[in-house]
Amino acid sequence: MVKFKDFDKDFSLKDKVFIVTGGAGGIGRVIGGFFSQKGAKGALVDISPKVHETAEKLGLEGIAADLTKPGEPETTVAKTAETFGRLDILVNCAGIGPLAKAEDMPEEVWDRTIAINLRVPFLMAQQAAKAMIGQGGGRIINMASQAGIVAIDGHLAYTTSKAGLIGMTKSMAFEWGKHGITVNAISPTVVNTELSTGGTYWVGEVAARALADTPVGRFGEPEEVAALCAYLASDAAALITGANIVIDGGYTIH
C-alpha cells in the first residue's frame, strides 16, 4: 500500500525529473516548457535535431534519438537518469498520424504507425518503470487521442494505435501501482499545432464538421493539454491511475 502524503496546492513539480518524447515541437514542446515553469528539470526527446535548440531555449536537455531503433529507449532513459540522478515523470507524447483508407492502407505505413505510437511508448514506459521502481515511484503519462475512443475517417492505423495505448495504460497501472507508479492516458481533441490544424486534413469542410460536432465549438490548445499533464505529474494526482482523461470539448460524448 502506498500511503497518502500531502501535496503542494500549487501543483508544484519542483526538483522533479522528466522525459517528454516528441519534444521538438507541438504539444511535447509546450509540456516541457510548462513542466519547467513548475520547477521540474529534464529532457526533451525527438527524432529531429531541432530538439537541441528547443530544449536550450527552455533551459532543458535535448536528446535527438530515433526511439524505434533497438536500444534507443534504454539509452535515453539511462542517460536522463544519469544526468539528473533520477527519473520521476515520463510523458510519451511522440506520435504520427498518416492518413489512408482502410482498404488502401500500405503495410509499411501501418507498421510504422504502430511502432511509433504504441511500441515506443511501451518500451519507454518499461525502462522508466524500472528506474521508478528502484526509487519508490513515479508518473507515466501516455498521450492517446479521441481517435482511440471513436472512429475517424482515414485514421485506421492511428485509431488502432491510440486504442491500444489506452489499454496498455490500464494494464501498466494495474501492475505498477504497488510500486507507487501511476500510469494515465490523456485523449485530446484536435489541438492547434503545426502538425494538426497547420496541416492539410483538419482544415476547411473537415474542420467545420468536426467543430459542429464539438459542443464547446473549438479545437484545443497545447497549453490546455500541458496543464492537465502537469496535474497528473504532480503529487496532487497520486490517487489517479489507469485513467484515460478525455480533453475533447465534448466531441466523444454523443
C-alpha cell at 4: 497518502
Q: Where are the beta strands (DSSP E) in the chain?
A: 17-21, 41-46, 61-64, 89-92, 138-143, 181-188, 244-247
Instruction: Please tell me the number of Cα atoms within 13 Å of 82 on its side-chain side.
Output: 6
Annotated catalytic residue within 158, 201, 231, 251: 158
Residue 158 annotated to the active site: yes
Which helix (H) or strand (E) segment is 94 a member of? none
- At residue 220, what are phi and psi to the nearest 5 degrees? -90, 165
Residue pair 219/225 in contact (Cβ under 8 Å)? The answer is no
**DSSP-based three-state secondary structure for 247:** strand
With vertex at residue 109, the alpha carbon angle to CA 94 and CA 25, rounded to the nearest 5 degrees, is 25
- Tell me the catalytic residues: 158
